[in-house]
Structure 1
């Protein structure tokens, strides 16, 4: 009853007291000019392109300008806005919005003022000199389309002896390289600070949970910083990361936008709210002096794409510190990472991630087989000394401390370890949680089918029992959306408990009988791939139990004897009630 109250009551309470806000967010606010603040910190404006706060435009309208510079790379399609020199239009060619083949590509970046506002801007900060800003109309001086083989260069002259250039290049994946150059044709030196920032709305961000981070992300020599989320940045004000920032940006579960510092150059990172639900990640280089006749360049890389583990590792090998750790594997990284590599290998062999999960389950069971043998041996020993244990319990039932001493002495004499049977359970916990993280975070699993109705192993089982697998025109509430896989999970776990020796404590017996069906409700909303793993694990455990019972006939005989005693006890109880 308590379990039922928890399952039904939790969902009701969340929907009643914490409803999701479906009101469109206020996406933008008016931009301030870049300037140096009185406290010496750098303010590069809020990056909203001078749009009044209430104004929200659709993407098609915002992209209507014919002057945009097209981006057409192997995995990215989009454009650069020459006004402000912004990268604000990026679609990911190789990732679609839904499981449907014609659902269209994922839109990662969108212009300022649109519902999905998300863009990058590059510029300079200085005093007493005209500098390019968000409204600056840059001129194309080289290239007409950004592609892997053809970079594009934009230029702007301030009419005061300084000419600026932005050179954009892109690789075969998701990395843009932006070189910010300033040439001084005047007679005196000029002090400037190059900067870059990413501005985005949190309205369409992935939900950040206790085990998966979504929001601001940064890296330095100390590792990757997952400490801040959007609400904390809003409440606590600008977050200064200090000098030595390697890269900074925003992450979702599957997507990442990040600015990567030029190697060997000092730069500071920061996060700040820019009003409404918009936030900014800043990367500001140390000051540079541009002498007369000199040209100074700072090169910043912009990653805007999917968090594919192989791609992130490739960039890490190229010198982007800790970039492979942008995927928040968590505490179980030492287990999750090798597990993911095995899954990728099996997928290459079998061509189906569902079969790869089953293959991984088989490998894990084989690796744990020696431990399972010890577990069953321990169970057999416990059954063998059970009569002596019952005798001790009868003899010392009024003296609990003495009973504990005598039982410890019995365990020592018979060389029985009562905790040995728990070891496989404790080993399975980190393995299960690591696989849960893999299925949750690995974008390579996204929209990967198994067979039949299971078209996305990273999503819950869509075939729910209560609407007759979609035949009835309604969607059950989340706590009642019990799919086929959840039922199979409960049934196989029930069979597994039935094969185990019955617990001596009646309360434990009841718990073991109820637990499979409680877990059926609990696990139903989880990814289908995770349930597939658990079902496969249960089936293999059943086969393993059958085999080990054959190898331990004394345990099987004791189980049969226990069942006979239970039947006789039940018959006696029934007869006694009939006589009453």
Structure 2
């Protein structure tokens, strides 16, 4: 009895630590969800501003007014179905870009996501291209280029030209319907002496991004070499004075990733290049590439170098297309899928297909849950047959526990022998749960990573399935002007999750061990707190799964009625064969 009390006390302490330490744990290992998109106040659902956003570009925190900075230099417009912005002719920089298909908030009048900003503004973030080499008079950051047109669109490419000394330089720019710019750099030697020239690209970013880098989801500097992607570099490392992080590759790319957005410099995939991150003072850093050797340019000769620049949303299908059709190695892995990509991408594609068929991501998640439960149903049948066999063995196991209560090693040995003699696998009942774990984790990553899930509504108050449930019980479902702390922000969905899990446990045969009984009694409510900060879509999956499991259990209890009968006393004579041998 004392051992049972000690075990229960230990479990209670672990549960309390898990509950109160959960925000800190998930902050590093498992980021819980996106920031809330809505908040319920006074019984009304209101859009929550994005605290990290700079939608109007001109905030009190801005270094300088962005409109003023943009007006100070000559520019040509950039317009595609996915982006709007402008190209700075001074320094030939792509430094003004917003993503018109993605908003800062779910409000109808919300500003689009701003990705790139010019130097001198808050969160400066821009790309440029240039040359280095011996005997070369290269254009600099103050060089003003001449443009062949006034607007860069998918159907109207633009060529920038300038002449410095005895060399003429050109940058031919084109853009597709997605987020990919193609950059052809040319240098013509007009002089009488041979020169060497190497075209390079750079990507400047001031400060870390607004997304949190974690153990399972990378946000920060990212580089791909030899078909692999390095997620281990962080902003502190690349911004540290004197630090230079170098990579060599033939085929690869380098840039910065947020959870949903990516900028990447992509050299010619057949060219050997040096890539590196360099500190640029303060919180700023720069990603860049250049060929591992310069090319000789004789008098009257012209050399050309082609690279690409991606700046946009990490649309999964679009990244896959760039990798497969354009040959950009490992480009799809700009999304940090992790070790379970083999589960995650099929679940995403199936979920996205369901969404296209149904039109609502929440209903698509419910349909996905139903599919998973149907696939696991044969295994669940075997699980219940195993549970019936285990229940039939309970009196014999209890007798062995009493007989060898002072000799624990012998007790375990005899119990294992009993399992072997009766041909019962005590772990068989765990298989459906174990199979659910990678599926649950895969859905978690899909909800956290896929831009397709961002700001997707369900029904009623659920306006964003990738954010937590905003309808909290502790503030009277929004009627009280009080915002509970994160670890007490219990919404309706977490409550339904706890209730459904409690109902599921109540249907299971009661364990004979008192500590296990107490654990099963507390576990649903601990998980209610643990799951509250996670995405609403993940909670909908789990609630639906629990409800389907309850229906499944009721059906299977009708196939295995012995599971409903009280466990005979340890001294009673029982016949386990009919239950154990019963076909599912």
User: Is the CA contact (8 Å cut-off) linking 1:245 and 1:268 kept in structure 2?
Assistant: no
Q: Provide the residue aligned with 2:316 in structure 1.
A: 309
1:191 aligns with 2:196: yes
Superposed, 1:200-279 pairs within 5 Å as 200-235=205-240, 237-279=243-285
Q: Which residue of 2 aligns with 1:283?
A: 289
How far has the Cα of 1:411 moved from its partner? 1.4
1:80 to 87, 95, 103: 87
Residue 275 to residue 376, structure 1, CA distance change in 2 (3 Å): same
> In 2, distance between residues paired with 1:442 and 1:223?
20
When structure 1 is superposed on structure 2, of 286-295 and 238-247 the one drifting more is 238-247
Q: Distance in 1 between matches of 2:409 and 2:317?
A: 59
Distance 2:374 2:16 in 1: 36
- Of 519, 532, 535, the match for 1:527: 535
Distance 1:12 1:331 in 2: 23
CA contact (8 A) 2:189 2:302 kept: yes
Following the alignment from structure 2 to structure 1, what is the Cα–Cα distance between the partners of residues 365 and 339?
22
Among 90, 96, 119, the residue aligned to 1:112: 119
Partners of 2:336 and 2:347 in 1: CA distance: 15
Larger relative CO (CA 8 A, sep 6+): 1 or 2?
Answer: 2
Match of 1:182 in 2: 187
RMSD: 2.2
* Range with greater deviation from structure 2 (514-523 or 66-75): 66-75
- 1:122–1:195 contact (8 Å) kept in structure 2: yes
1:94-493 aligned within 5 A:
94-140=101-147, 142-158=148-164, 160-235=165-240, 237-285=243-291, 286-318=293-325, 319-493=327-501
When residues 71 and 530 of structure 1 are mapped into structure 2, their CA distance, relative to the original with a 3 A threshold, is same
Shift of 1:170: 0.5
Q: Pick closer, same or farther for the CA change 1:542–1:394 going to 2, 3 Å.
A: same
Matches within 5 A, 1:56-95: 56-65=63-72, 67-95=74-102
Does the 8 Å CA contact 1:492/1:535 hold for their aligned counterparts?
yes
Contact 1:466/1:482 (<8 A) preserved: yes
1:514-554: CA deviations, max 9, x gaps?
11111111111111111111111111111111111011011
Paired position in structure 1 for 2:551: 543
CA gap of 1:441–1:14, structure 2 versus 1, over 3 A, is: closer
Shift of 1:128: 4.5
Q: CA deviation at 1:444?
A: 0.1
Partner of 1:37: none
Provide, for residues 213-239 of structure 1, a one-character-per-residue CA deviation record: whole Å limited to 9, x for no partner. Answer: 011111121411112111222348110
Listed as ranges, the gaps of 5+ residues in structure 1 are 16-23, 26-53, 563-580
Paired residue total: 524
Work out whether residues 84 and 136 of structure 1, in 8 Å CA contact, stay in contact via their aligned partners in 2: yes
Deviation at 1:55, TM superposition (A): 9.3
Task: Name which of structure 1's ranges 443-452 and 426-435 shifts more when overlaid on structure 2.
Answer: 426-435
Offset of 1:406 from its aligned partner?
Answer: 2.2
Contact 2:226 2:249 in 1 (8 A): no
Counterparts of 1:10 and 1:146, CA distance in 2: 49
CA distance in 2, matches of 1:80, 1:121: 10
- 2:43: which partner in 1? none
Q: Distance in 2 between matches of 1:93 and 1:477?
A: 34
Paired residue secondary structure (1:113) = coil
1:511 Cα deviation from its structure 2 partner: 1.0
Provide the C-alpha distance between the structure 2 equivalents of 1:326 and 1:513, rounded to a whole number of angstroms. 43
Matched position secondary structure for 1:452: coil
Deviation by residue 1:278-317 (Cα, 9 ceiling, x = unmatched): 1111111231111111111111111000000010011111
Partner-residue secondary structure (3-state), 1:385: helix
Q: Aligned in 2, Cα 1:9/1:224: closer, same or farther, shift over 3 Å?
A: closer
